[in-house]
Structure 1
């Protein structure tokens, strides 16, 4: 990897250990191919609310579920070409304190991301997701502060993109970025298949990717010649600063 590409980084903050796969697996794989070093933080293993299949096996403990979820997430991250770490903050409920906030701010400082992906700001079906979004944004602000751990390099102002929630209309999520992930769909689907504990979502998120692909193709126009089949949607938080509107 050249010096230029070695300095490209991205950060993904996932509430649970499978969220990053369903919602941002294409972006992770695509930017990995472009030379980005993508780092994933899983705040929770999703051991209580998102592991029903594992619990139904019987003779299961929370530690066994966490171990299984960690194994799935690590396998998926490897396929997507990303590094990963786990905060193990609990699940249903997921709760954050000052220590967790500063820990995430330290990850921002360490990674120095060029962009950040995380959850929607609202989700009436899963309060862990907005918490992850709020924690990410506050950690970003702290990591930008000169007075936080003086002497360390601060974070600039990486754009933050909110990936697609399971129920976008109820979450007031509206995509303004459509990412073509056709070239890396095979990798994303391979990563999806690592999530054995939530096999019921494999087909659902395939349909989501196809729908966003159709929308992306329509927005670039047939004349572009781009054969977009699969896509991911994102909602930006901050304005784009540019000298070129093309």
Structure 2
């Protein structure tokens, strides 16, 4: 399997989550020749679009604005984006959504999956998404689950950094150097105009993680992203 045939999957509860938290990884893997598939379960229209509500926008208009923002950001990062329009606050997974994700994983077997933290006392939509992703990964491995596609292997699952990591029991296992693609991540962030207040916040996060990455590698890294892995690394050597 060549790099051009490989894919990674990012499952985002809301339409902007993948940009703030995994935009660097998306751009990096796109540049390495991977197909990057972003699955947005909702547009974040109710709980993450306060600026638009204050402007007097209606629900349907807000959904379309958030869709357009995410599509533009995904294009900058090099990702394909798919919307499931499940609604948010609360985001309530259904059997139909579960099956759609299983079929997605089987049709496009990911090398690894990126999604939310397991705990987030500030946003219940995030851990609900993660629980769903882990369940769907298991189902996609089951030979008896009905599908026209074959079973998947054992893709790694990495959790991207939540907004308040200390309150979410987030453990940093991976620091990813995104220095070479950060300007594109910043451009993608600036597409999310409904949440302009987060542009500088996540720029500062990337700078801090870059400093930490440099200290842990002995190199000079300007920007980074942090991830927590769910399943253990398996290999013939300890890296």
Q: Which residue of 2 aligns with 1:27?
A: 25
Q: Deviations over 1:13-48 (max 9, x none)?
A: 000000000000000000100111000000010000
Q: Distance in 1 between matches of 2:148 and 2:61?
A: 41
Partner residue, 1:185? 182
Q: TM-score, normalised by structure 2?
A: 0.98
Shift of 1:206: 0.3
Question: Is residue 55 from structure 1 mapped to residue 48 from structure 2 by the alignment?
Answer: no
CA displacement, residues 59-80 of structure 1 (integer Å, 9 cap, x when unaligned): x211100000000000000000
* Consecutive unaligned residues in structure 2, runs of 5 or more: none
In the TM superposition, what are the counterparts of 1:21-170 in structure 2 within 5 Å? 21-58=19-56, 60-149=57-146, 152-170=149-167
Runs of at least 4 residues of structure 1 off by over 6 A?
none
Q: TM-score, normalised by structure 1?
A: 0.95
Give how far 1:112 is off: 0.5
Shift of 1:227: 2.8
Report SS of the residue matched to 2:72: helix
The one of 191, 210, 232 equivalent to 2:225 is 232
SS in 2 for 1:232: strand
What is the alpha-carbon distance in structure 1 between the residues aligned to residue 108 and residue 2 of structure 2? 15
Deviation, structure 1 residue 116: 0.3
Deviations 1:62-109 (A, max 9, x none): 110000000000000000001000011111111011111111111101
